[in-house]
């Protein structure tokens, strides 16, 4: 029987709550963990975060850029982390933010979403700013392979607002138009397999991302943790949609260090579950 990404994500969210642990091996974190600036340190960091997250949270989100800076050895470390996360039963979101057209976009989709690919993840982040239609191949690949995508909608960085809140010819914000197109392409029940990136610190109303537009879509929400939002902001920011949110935290958790990371993740996950259920 077909099990869609949205269905798997729904089960994981219900079981473990909203927390998504970002695997972001910043240079200073590698040093603080005593691992050093090497591909081996990078791999050991990522595998430790996977180990600490497994059975405690719904998902992890490796930030591809921090692996990519080490070149081919960094990608080899990333492959190991992606595989370990999936083997541990975690939803693995590759934060690659890919966006292109035609056969190039199809190539990216194959790299991140095809079963058996060295970089296989459960979902990948995509940029729609070559036109939401440019993502058709990726969304089709995701649906066929029972994978997911998270498309940049309204992000938490302040400089994005001028573009994402701009009003198009149809009277809609750019972010709203993206959300409508993505929802139409990847909707489903109980949760779609094509979702949106919506920052936890942004004004959803100003971006046109009202509840009716986002209903049934998984939401990947950066902006929690070091960027200022916390578990108590989940319901005020997302309301009835809170149950569909992956709340992404990275540095705020990873700074605990390798010895305290398990307890830190477990405690934070419990805070998010409590916040989600407090209605």
CB of 183 closer than 8 Å to CB of 177: no
Q: What 8-state DSSP symbol labels residue 109?
A: H
147 is catalytic: no
Map tokens 């009277």 to a residue. Answer: 171
CB neighbour list of residue 57: distance below 8 Å, 6 or more residues apart: 16, 17, 19, 20, 21, 90, 265, 269
Annotate 141-151 with b (16+ C-beta within 10 A) or e (fewer). bbbebbbbbbb
What is the DSSP pairing of strand 59-62 with strand 19-23? parallel
* Other Cβ atoms within 10 Å of 28 Cβ, number: 10
Q: DSSP state, 173?
A: B
Token pair, residue 37, equals 């600036």
The answer to whether residues 114 and 141 touch, using CB atoms and an 8 Å cutoff, is yes
Compute the distance between CA of residue 207 and CA of residue 187 in angstroms, rounded to an integer: 21
List residues bridging with 197 in a β-sheet: 152, 220
- Pair 39, 56: CB distance under 8 Å: no
Residue positions annotated with a catalytic role: 97
């Amino acid at each position: 029987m077909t099990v869609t990404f949205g269905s798997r994500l729904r089960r994981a969210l219900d079981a473990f709550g909203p927390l998504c642990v970002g695997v972001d091996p910043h240079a200073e974190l590698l040093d603080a963990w005593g691992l050093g600036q090497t591909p081996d340190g990078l791999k050991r960091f990522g595998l430790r975060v996977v180990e600490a997250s497994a059975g405690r949270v719904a998902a992890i989100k490796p930030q591809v850029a921090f692996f990519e800076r080490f070149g081919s050895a960094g990608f080899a470390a990333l492959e190991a982390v992606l595989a370990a996360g999936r083997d541990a039963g975690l939803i693995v979101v590759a934060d690659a933010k890919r966006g292109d057209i035609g056969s190039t976009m199809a190539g990216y989709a194959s790299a991140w979403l095809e079963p058996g690919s060295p970089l296989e993840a459960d979902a990948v982040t995509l940029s729609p700013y070559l036109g939401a239609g440019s993502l058709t191949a990726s969304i089709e690949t995701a649906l066929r392979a029972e994978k997911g995508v998270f498309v940049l909608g309204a992000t938490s960085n302040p400089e994005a607002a001028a573009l994402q809140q701009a009003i198009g010819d149809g009277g809609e914000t750019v972010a709203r138009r993206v959300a409508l197109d993505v929802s139409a392409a990847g909707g489903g029940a109980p949760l779609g397999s094509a979702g949106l990136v919506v920052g936890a610190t942004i004004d959803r109303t100003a971006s046109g991302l009202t509840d009716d537009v986002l209903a049934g879509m998984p939401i990947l929400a950066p902006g929690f943790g070091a960027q200022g939002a916390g578990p108590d902001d989940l319901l005020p920011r997302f309301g009835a949609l809170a149950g569909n949110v992956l709340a992404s935290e990275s540095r705020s958790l990873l700074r605990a260090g390798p010895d305290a990371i398990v307890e830190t993740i477990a405690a934070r996950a419990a805070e998010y579950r409590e916040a989600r259920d407090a209605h």
